[in-house]
Amino acid sequence: MRSVGASLQGLREALASLFFPAPCRICGELLDSANRIPLCRSCLMSLRSMGEPCCARCGRPFVSSVAVQVEGLPLCHLCRRGLYDFDFARSYGIYTESMAGAIMLLKYQQVTPLAAWFAAHLRETFDHHREMFLADIVVPVPAHAARQRERGYNHAELIAKPLARSLGWPCRSYLLVRSRPRPDKLRLSLRERWRSVRGAYTIRNGLRVDNLRVLLVDDVLTTGATLDACSRALRKAGASKVVALTVARAVPRREDPGLGPPRRGPDG
Neighbouring C-alpha atoms within 13 Å toward the C-beta of 59: 30
29-47, pLDDT tens digit by residue?
A: 988 777 789 999 999 999 9
ω into residue 23 within 30 of 0, thus cis?
A: no
Provide the whole-model pTM.
0.85
263 vs 146: CA distance, rounded Å: 23
Q: What share of the chain is helix, strand, coil (3-state, %, to 5)?
A: 40, 15, 45
105 vs 94: CA distance, rounded Å: 17
- Residue 39 CB-density burial (10 A; 0-12 exposed, 13-18 middle, 19+ buried): buried
Asked whether the predicted pLDDT for residue 1 surpasses 50, the reply is no
For 124-171, strand residue ranges (E) read 137-140
111-128, pLDDT tens digit by residue?
A: 999 999 999 999 999 999
